[in-house]
Amino acid sequence: MSNKLSSSVPTDREVVLGILNDSEDALNKLYTGYFPMVLQFILNNNGDEDDAKDVYQEGIIVLYNKIKGGNFELSSKLKTYIYSVCRRIWLKKLSQQSKKTSNISDFEDVMAVEVDVEQHEEKDKQFDKMQDALLHLGEPCKTIIQDFYINNLSMQDICEKFGYTNTDNAKTQKYKCLQRLKKLFFQV
């Protein structure tokens, strides 16, 4: 059960430096480099391609946050880390779907990553909450908030985009939207 994966993989150092420098190229290399490994694992353990994509992306986010958080030490191979994280995430998903998690076919070494995965789950909850809150916020509030806080548009830009007569109106609108969003976010 050990099909060798032949895709080219960047060195661990390259990846860490690339992520710290927000290099999209490094992310691409990382992503394409290790995807087959996770795909193989998921496909061989009751999952399909979409499951593999979801799990793998979560795994990369965990790694990304860990590197960005500055507490990532290259104590083990990046490959082992990614594999272990994705494995952990997938096993949790499987048990949530009450599918059997015995007889897992493994393809790589596994290391302990429970703490990281739990932290990620917390963050993931926050993410879902924010997503829900934004969803319930409705238009045009959602776009205004996203433009201001995520796309970093200035009040002037927003004012023009939404056709407000002056920035004060826009500011008032943004304030109202933000209050509602906060309410939704903290409430849920």
Q: What share of the chain is helix, strand, coil (3-state, %, to 5)?
A: 70, 0, 30
Binding residues vs other proteins (CB under 8 A): 1, 3, 24, 27-28, 31-32, 35-36, 39-40, 43-44, 49, 52-53, 57, 60-61, 64, 105, 123, 126-127, 129-131, 145, 149-150, 171-172, 175, 178, 182, 185-186
Query: For residues 113 and 134, which CB has a smaller minimum distance to other proteins in the complex?
Result: 134
Query: How many CB atoms neighbour CB 168 within 10 A?
Result: 11
For residue 121 the two structure tokens come to 């789950």
Query: For residues 7 and 112, which CB has a smaller minimum distance to other proteins in the complex?
Result: 7
Closest distance to other proteins from the beta carbon of 96 (Å): 21
Query: For residues 11 and 112, which CB has a smaller minimum distance to other proteins in the complex?
Result: 11
Sign for the pseudo-dihedral over CA of 60, 61, 66, 67: positive
Phi, psi for residue 154 in degrees, rounded to 5: -80, 165
Closest distance to other proteins from the beta carbon of 163 (Å): 20
Please name the amino acid found at residue 57: Q
Eight-state DSSP code of residue 3: P
Closest distance to other proteins from the beta carbon of 85 (Å): 15
Query: For residues 27 and 91, which CB has a smaller minimum distance to other proteins in the complex?
Result: 27
Helices (H) and strands (E) in the chain, counts: 8, 0
Closest distance to other proteins from the beta carbon of 58 (Å): 10
Sign for the pseudo-dihedral over CA of 158, 162, 164, 170: negative
Query: For residues 98 and 186, which CB has a smaller minimum distance to other proteins in the complex?
Result: 186
Eight-state DSSP code of residue 92: H
Q: Are 24 and 49 in contact (CB under 8 A)?
A: no
Query: For residues 33 and 88, which CB has a smaller minimum distance to other proteins in the complex?
Result: 33
Closest distance to other proteins from the beta carbon of 82 (Å): 13
Closest distance to other proteins from the beta carbon of 178 (Å): 7
